[in-house]
Amino acid sequence: MVGMVSVAALAAVGMSMQFMMIINVLMTLYVVGGNALISRFIGEGRKKRASALLYALAILAAILSLFVSFGGYFGSEYIYSLMGAEADVIHEGSLYFKIISLGLVVIFIDTLLYNALSAAGDTKNSLYIKLVSTAINAFLNYILIFGHFGFPAMGIEGAAYATVFAYCFNVLAYYILIKKPYSKLNFIPIIRVKDLIRVWHIGWSAALDRGISSISFLLFVAIIAAYGTEALAGYQVGLRIEGIAFMPGFGFAIAATALVGQSLGAKNRERAYNMGIISGRVAYIFMGSVGLFLILFPEFLVGFFTEDKETIAVASYYLILVGLAQIPLAIVFVYSGALRGAGATKITLKINVLSLWFFRVIPSYIAYKMGYGIIVIFIIMNIETLIKGLLYAYVYKKRNWLETKV
């Protein structure tokens, strides 16, 4: 729907997702460590201890979000200009991101609750909540972006308001859910500083990993932005469509995180190892199948987002190339999720940082300076994904991560 407003609006919303990757660094501090501990507590049969940790993490998430909201609201224009966006993208993007910044508190808490329940083994209720909130988001987009049912046409600002309202629904639904006696987790108003310190010990390396990776992705997007607004919009559209293939990978990464953590909590290391292997195999099938669809019908898929011919061309090339990389990407998703579930975040830090910088960012910058086109940048991206997948497969099968202490 945003693509129907303008190419600049489409590029602006796409770039905002890169900024959210930076914000996710703070979320990682409490999400990854929280997941590892909650899944182990559940595996040990200690639901009350897990619920007390959830309560403490919710307070921490709310406090962290306030600082980020302030920076995002007052620094949105500067962030877009720093990324090298053109003037129309900066204008549209600042309108969008200021509104998103005001809703960061519900985004932070939603992320915590979704991940905590998943770590406890409850993904079905999250599915129902997300289905409803997605429908709400889409309906509000239709009303607020284009101005229907008596509302003014707000363009990109309408998209931002719709997103925030959808997150508000999520948090309310999760709150009602965890108050039910049958919920996998509850809120128990006890703060155990010892558990928060354990979360920190796991989370800091995961947050550093996410932070360096996010900066790497921002630099990568800045290189693409240097090719022009159409190239940037094409990349963002391609990334959105690739999200169709991402979803199975994310889903089975979450499964691996929860099942590996719970198995280690139950002192069953062989089962923990096998859970990652099984999750990975299913993810290969799903993501490989979707990847084939991306290769065969790229222009058809891109046509839903924009009618700009140059944007369609860039996005189509992107989809064809990333379609070839979906199987190694499945390995990255699932095995990294399994390692995080075990608390082995220092290993994922090393693999991700070294791979992104040495095989993606630096080669892409060199290729741009040498005058190569955008397609070469996409090829470099795919090669980096393949190398990273091989590294994760090697580390996972060595099994040393099973000895990680939490």
Residues contacting 341, CB < 8 A, separation 6+: 35, 36, 39, 119, 256, 257, 258, 259, 260, 261, 264
For 27, how many CA atoms within 13 A lie in the half-sphere containing its CB?
19
Write the DSSP assignment of 286-344 as a string of letters: HHHHHHHHHHH-HHHHHTTT---HHHHHHHHHHHHHHHTTHHHHHHHHHHHHHHHHTT-
Determine contact, residues 100/164, Cβ cutoff 8 Å: yes
Distances (CA, A) of 293 to 66, 239, 314, 321: 42, 15, 17, 12
* Alpha carbons 179 and 185: distance in angstroms, whole number: 9
Full 3-state SS string of 239-276: HHHHHHHHHHHHHHHHHHHHHHHHHHHCCCHHHHHHHH
Q: Using only C-alpha atoms, what is the Rg of the chain?
A: 21
Residue 274, pLDDT score: 92
Place of tokens 């096998």: 274
Residue 84, pLDDT score: 67
Q: What angle do CA 380, 383, 389 make, to 5 degrees?
A: 145
Residue 83, pLDDT score: 67
* Alpha carbons 118 and 252: distance in angstroms, whole number: 11
Residue 348: CB atoms within 10 A of its CB come to: 25
Q: Residue 107's Cα: distance from chain center in Å?
A: 12
- Helix (H, G, I), strand (E, B), or coil: what is residue 155? coil
What is the value of pTM for the model shown?
0.74
Q: How many residues are there in the chain?
A: 406
Please identify every stretch of the chain with a pLDDT value under 50, giving residue numbers as ranges. Answer: none
Place of tokens 């007052």: 74
> What's the burial of 309, exposed, middle or buried (CB within 10 Å: 0-12/13-18/19+)?
exposed
